[in-house]
Chains A and B, each alone.
Chain A
């Protein structure tokens, strides 16, 4: 079974600074997707960024980028120029690419609470 581990229950960053959130996962699959979701106080889950395992290039979305290390099964999220609105809980998630009854299901980590200080 796949597992996702976020070892940082809480992180903090100063506004305009950079912060990196860690995530590791365990899988025997070679083809899969990885995601970072953001859950602000409203509790709506919002997709931040995604990475296809077959792509070596790290995904980027504006101020958000990932460091995907497939051999190490590591998938960290870097937030540059942090803003007050980035304060939220961040979840790392894994999904099989296709096939079988697991298709379409996300396995989540336990989350990291990010605080942004003005």
Chain B
């Protein structure tokens, strides 16, 4: 079965420090991968998605970047964190077009606090 791992679960970082959140998927190949952010309050906002190694699409201009160095690895980064980067970050994956491809499965999330 497929599983998705995300770490670290909790992170407290000072303003101006770098960031690296990692997400890996097991049990599938060539997944579509996504980074969402949930700010204090409610809704989820899509930040980045990737349909393959090295292929990254950004949805909103921001201080963050994403990379996909391996098929099942997706990394969210920043060179210098801002206070506004605080939030709950969720990685998700979906399969190839076809059965089940329309379902996103989420990781457990990473809570980032920037002080």
* Cα–Cα distance between A35 and B102 once the two chains are bound (Å): 10
Could you tell me the distance in whole angstroms from the C-beta of B45 to the nearest C-beta in chain A?
Answer: 8
Contact between chains at B109 and A105 (CB < 8 Å): no
Contact string against B for A residues 79-118, beta-carbon threshold 8 Å, 1 for contact and 0 otherwise: 0000000000101000101100100111011110000000
Is B42 in contact with A101, judged by CB distance below 8 angstroms? Answer: no
**Contact assessment for A44 and B43 in the assembled complex, using a CB-CB cutoff below 8 Å:** no
Contact A47-B105, Cβ < 8 Å, known A101-B57, A104-B94, A105-B34: yes
The answer to whether residues A105 and B88 also contact, given A45-B106, A97-B102 and a CB cut-off of 8 A, is no
Residues on B lying within 8 angstroms of A by beta carbon are: 32, 34, 36, 38, 41-46, 49, 51, 57, 59, 88, 90, 92, 94, 97, 101-109, 111
**What are 13 A-B residue pairs whose CB atoms fall within 8 Å in the complex?**
A44-B106, A45-B44, A45-B92, A45-B109, A95-B104, A97-B102, A104-B94, A104-B101, A104-B104, A105-B46, A108-B43, A108-B44, A111-B43
A residues lining the B interface (CB < 8 Å): 33, 35, 37, 42-47, 50, 52, 89, 91, 95, 97-98, 101, 104-106, 108-111
